[in-house]
């Protein structure tokens, strides 16, 4: 049984003028807190000294109350560690299951919530998202991350902490990190920017959200890629926008189709370097066409550049933002793929005239980003660890990608079509007619094979079925077995 090291005092007040003795008031308050489940089995109880001090009374009534609670089995004590709510009460205390909390029926007058809640699908984890390993999406090779360097930088930061670092920070983020990112983006991604245009956010998702709050109104028509990134769609739906699914082909977003469907869209959300999930790189002519449309229509382009550090057969593709001469592109990047996703650090390069709007919205949302990891990350980049890590990981992921492609070709021949294996940490395979990806994914999960189906990436009817296979978190040695398992799941009778 996990013990909580809280030692928080429950809300107890004692009335010195009451007829009821003090020890009895304290005993009743603890008993009520335990029976009412505000204090739970295994949780630490404050020391008698601390509680007496807090209540402003002598220690004796507290000692007496604790002695009785111990004698009756509500408390247990461990020498040297203090007193805890007894774990033998578990039977009498219902488990605090998340599900039972959610399904609690509350009888009352109407309990209205915002309409946008009903625009979002219920948050749940489908079968293919439960496990870790082949071929879970959005996993990085965390075992290859230089944690010894990272933890040294964290320790150094903590040792040299300035008291001013504990105060609220700049809503745009920590200047040193913004400068470091600016140097990286100009050199490696051909982004046109000054550090003062860069805002630090908690991953691309927050950047998408802030951009929608600044640029879009409820009902604004917005182009999204079809198929596309489901979290962009969910964020735009929550903002009440009208989603216009624009097809993608081997050249990326079909701009002419978008213009035909809705010329006056307020914005286009695109991933031109490595379209998600089909992996196309937007061609130069499409890029120019998209920029031209945005300039003529007075629209915005939000560029999601989430994983383009990892391109295997050629140099990384320059950003769309770098081609933009009319400041129509909002450029978003993240450290989720290039470092690790729980870091929750990303950035937005904002057109100069929009900086004040982004700043106001951000400040109203969450004031400013947390300081610790911004400072550590700035040092990680400035001391050369970041560029070294990218170089190393490009080779490591390149090897995984190559093994995966070889194994798929060997096991499946021309049955599966490969898409987007040139970059990033995933590739997509499409299935011949007759296969249903969701059903196969559910079947595969029962064998601990995690296949993200392609069809839910479509807003409209899915024109293809397939799987988006993440290879970031799979070791080269595991890949052949996992592909063989994929074959067994897909073609059970032929695999025997």
Ligand X SMILES: Cc1ncc(COP(=O)(O)O)c(C=O)c1O
Between 343 and 359, whose beta carbon lies closer to ligand X? 343
The size of the interface with ligand X (CB under 6 A), counted in residues, is 13
Q: Is 76 helix (H, G, I), strand (E, B) or coil?
A: strand
> Do strands 300-305 and 75-78 pair parallel, antiparallel, or not at all (unpaired)?
unpaired
Between 203 and 369, whose beta carbon lies closer to ligand X? 203
Half-sphere exposure (Cβ direction) of 169: Cα atoms closer than 13 Å: 24
**Could you say which residues in the range 187-226 bind ligand X, by CB under 6 A?**
203-205
Minimum CB distance to ligand X, residue 205 (Å): 4
Dihedral angle at the C-alpha atoms of 47, 51, 57, 62, nearest 10 degrees? -50
User: By CB under 6 A, is residue 336 in contact with ligand X?
Assistant: yes
Residue nearest to ligand X (CB): 203
Residues in the chain: 496
Minimum CB distance to ligand X, residue 25 (Å): 50
Minimum CB distance to ligand X, residue 377 (Å): 14
**Could you say which residues in the range 47-66 bind ligand X, by CB under 6 A?**
none
Between 227 and 346, whose beta carbon lies closer to ligand X? 346
Minimum CB distance to ligand X, residue 154 (Å): 20
Q: Which residues contact 246 (CB under 8 A, 6 or more apart)?
A: 223, 224, 225, 226, 253, 254, 255, 257, 258, 261, 268
Query: CA quadruple 212, 215, 221, 222: dihedral positive or negative?
Result: negative
Between 206 and 465, whose beta carbon lies closer to ligand X? 206
**Could you say which residues in the range 124-153 bind ligand X, by CB under 6 A?**
138
Minimum CB distance to ligand X, residue 79 (Å): 46
| Bridge partners, residue 45, by sequence | 83
Between 61 and 466, whose beta carbon lies closer to ligand X? 466
User: By CB under 6 A, is residue 334 in contact with ligand X?
Assistant: yes
User: By CB under 6 A, is residue 373 in contact with ligand X?
Assistant: no
What does the alpha-carbon distance between residue 125 and residue 226 come to, in Å, rounded to a whole number?
A: 23
**Could you say which residues in the range 252-281 bind ligand X, by CB under 6 A?**
271, 276
**Could you say which residues in the range 297-316 bind ligand X, by CB under 6 A?**
304, 306
Between 204 and 299, whose beta carbon lies closer to ligand X? 204
* Cα–Cα nearest to 132, from 450, 445, 483: 450
Distances (CA, A) of 148 to 63, 144, 152: 47, 11, 6
Q: What is the DSSP string of 93-119?
A: SPP--HHHHHT----SS-----HHHHH
* Cα–Cα nearest to 143, from 484, 477, 483: 477
Between 312 and 340, whose beta carbon lies closer to ligand X? 340
User: By CB under 6 A, is residue 229 in contact with ligand X?
Assistant: yes
What residues make contact with ligand X under the rule CB under 6 A?
138, 203-205, 229, 271, 276, 304, 306, 334, 336, 341, 346
């Amino acid at each position: 049984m996990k013990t909580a090291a809280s030692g928080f005092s429950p809300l107890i007040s004692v009335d010195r003028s009451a007829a009821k003795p003090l020890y009895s008031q304290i005993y009743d308050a603890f008993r009520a807190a335990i029976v009412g489940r505000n204090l739970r089995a295994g949780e630490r109880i404050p020391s008698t000294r601390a509680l007496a001090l807090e209540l402003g009374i002598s220690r004796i009534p507290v000692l007496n109350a604790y002695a009785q609670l111990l004698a009756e089995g509500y408390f247990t004590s461990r020498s040297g560690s203090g007193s805890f709510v007894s774990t033998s009460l578990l039977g009498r205390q219902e488990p605090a299951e998340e599900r039972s909390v959610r399904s609690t029926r509350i009888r009352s007058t109407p309990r209205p919530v915002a309409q946008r809640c009903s625009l979002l699908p219920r948050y749940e984890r489908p079968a293919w998202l439960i496990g870790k390993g082949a071929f879970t999406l959005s996993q990085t090779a965390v075992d290859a991350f230089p944690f010894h360097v990272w933890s040294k930088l964290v320790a150094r930061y903590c040792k040299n902490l300035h008291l001013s670092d504990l105060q609220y920070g700049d809503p745009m983020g920590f200047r040193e990190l913004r400068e470091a990112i600016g140097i990286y983006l100009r050199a490696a991604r051909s982004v046109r920017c000054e550090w003062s245009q860069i805002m630090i956010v908690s991953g691309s998702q927050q950047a998408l959200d802030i951009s929608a709050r600044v640029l879009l109104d409820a009902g604004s028509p917005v182009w999204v890629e079809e198929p596309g990134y489901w979290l962009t769609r969910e964020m735009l739906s929550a903002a009440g926008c009208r989603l216009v699914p624009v097809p993608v082909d081997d050249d990326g977003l079909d701009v002419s189709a978008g213009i035909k469907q809705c010329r006056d869209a307020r914005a286009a959300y695109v991933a031109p370097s490595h379209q998600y999930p089909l992996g196309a790189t937007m061609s130069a002519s499409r890029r120019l066409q998209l920029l031209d449309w945005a300039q003529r229509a007075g629209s915005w382009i939000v560029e999601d550049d989430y994983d383009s550090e990892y391109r295997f057969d050629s140099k990384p593709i320059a950003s769309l933002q770098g081609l933009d001469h009319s400041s129509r592109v909002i450029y978003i990047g993240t450290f989720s793929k290039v470092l690790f996703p729980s870091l929750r650090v990303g950035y937005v390069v904002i057109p100069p005239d929009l900086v004040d709007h982004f700043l106001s919205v951000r400040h109203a949302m969450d004031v400013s980003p947390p300081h610790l990891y911004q400072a550590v990350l700035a040092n990680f980049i400035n001391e050369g660890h970041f560029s070294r890590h990218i170089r190393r990981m490009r080779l490591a992921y390149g090897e995984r990608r190559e093994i995966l492609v070889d194994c798929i070709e060997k096991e499946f021949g021309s049955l599966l079509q490969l898409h987007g294996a040139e970059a990033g940490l995933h590739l997509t395979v499409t299935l011949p007619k007759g296969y249903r990806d969701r059903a196969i994914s559910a079947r595969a999960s029962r064998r601990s094979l995690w296949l993200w189906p392609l069809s839910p990436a479509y807003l409209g009817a899915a024109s293809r079925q397939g799987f988006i296979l993440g290879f970031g978190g799979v070791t080269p040695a595991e890949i052949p077995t996992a592909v063989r398992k994929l074959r067994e799941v897909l073609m059970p009778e032929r695999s025997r």
